[in-house]
A and B are shown apart, each in its own frame.
Chain A
Amino acid sequence: MDRKTTIPVKIKIQNQDFEVSEETKILRENQTGAIVNFVGVVRGFDERNNSLIESITLEHYPGMTELEIEKIVKQSCERWNITGVTVIHRVGKLLPSDQIVFVGVSAKHRQNAFDSCNFIMDWLKTKAPFWKVEENNNQKKWVNYNLSDDEATKKWVV
């Protein structure tokens, strides 16, 4: 097996919140000189439909979600010289300003950490089987996928 695919990888799908400082501390234990963290946060406003969002509920496909994220992380490990990856995605009911997703990547040098984190997040948005429903005024609306997310993955195709 490629040396770089044996780095510490943590993938969690969970209801509970996560603590960025705790996750960063774990990533610091890897042989590292740089850590890039991405945190996705619930918006309180739907810009596409010009409406408020009271809450969202996320569901996923247990089993396939983890497999898809593992595949994305593996590709990232093969492409960049990184030393550790953590992906945490929350499911269930969330409120505006709640944290949804954490992607943290450690590397010896910052550019690898930046690019790898960006890559993982772009592909997670288009491949990992999660679905959001927005709730407002006792009405619920499944969120439509965003074509710009597909566009974002094109920059990684070589």
Chain B
Amino acid sequence: MVIKYFSWIKEHIGKSEEFLELPDNVKNISELINYLNNLNDNYKKVFEKKDLIKIAVNRTYCSVEKKISNNDEIAFFPPVTGG
């Protein structure tokens, strides 16, 4: 799967996207966040601000319960500030 990061989340994590193979025990966004949090503290610092994190799977807004698979494009970003 590909994971994309935007705005300050991209800066805190240190990359705009990454590719990873989903471990078998990661079935939804919530489990993906737990998995990433265990990789290093940069993820932890981002995901502890959970009220400021929006999630999209395949370019559609969703919640942490959303089921995911290896073919998905996941994105984490802050509330939007365009216009």
- Using a CB–CB distance below 8 Å, which chain A residues touch chain B? 40, 58-61, 63-64, 67, 89, 100-101, 121, 124-133, 142-146
Contacts and interface: CB of A to CB of B under 8 A. Distances in A.
Contacts of A125: 80, 82-83
Chain A contact residues: helix, strand, loop or mixed:
mixed
Interface of B: 4, 6-8, 54, 56, 59-61, 75, 77-83
- Which of B6, B8, B78, B82 is the most central at the interface, judged by chain A CB atoms within 10 Å of its CB? B82
A89 B60 CA distance: 20
Contacts of A146: 81
Nearest to B73: A63
- Which of A89, A128, A130, A131 is the most central at the interface, judged by chain B CB atoms within 10 Å of its CB? A131
- Which of B7, B80, B83 is the most central at the interface, judged by chain A CB atoms within 10 Å of its CB? B83
Contact of B77 (A61, A89, A126, A132): A61
20 contacts: A59-B7, A61-B6, A61-B56, A64-B56, A67-B59, A124-B82, A125-B80, A125-B82, A126-B80, A127-B61, A130-B82, A131-B7, A131-B77, A131-B80, A131-B81, A133-B7, A142-B78, A143-B81, A145-B80, A146-B81
Nearest to B4: A61
A124 to B, nearest CB: 5
Contacts of A60: 82
Given A124-B83, A145-B81, 15 more contacts: A61-B59, A64-B56, A64-B59, A64-B75, A67-B60, A101-B82, A125-B82, A127-B80, A129-B77, A129-B80, A129-B82, A131-B80, A131-B81, A142-B78, A145-B78
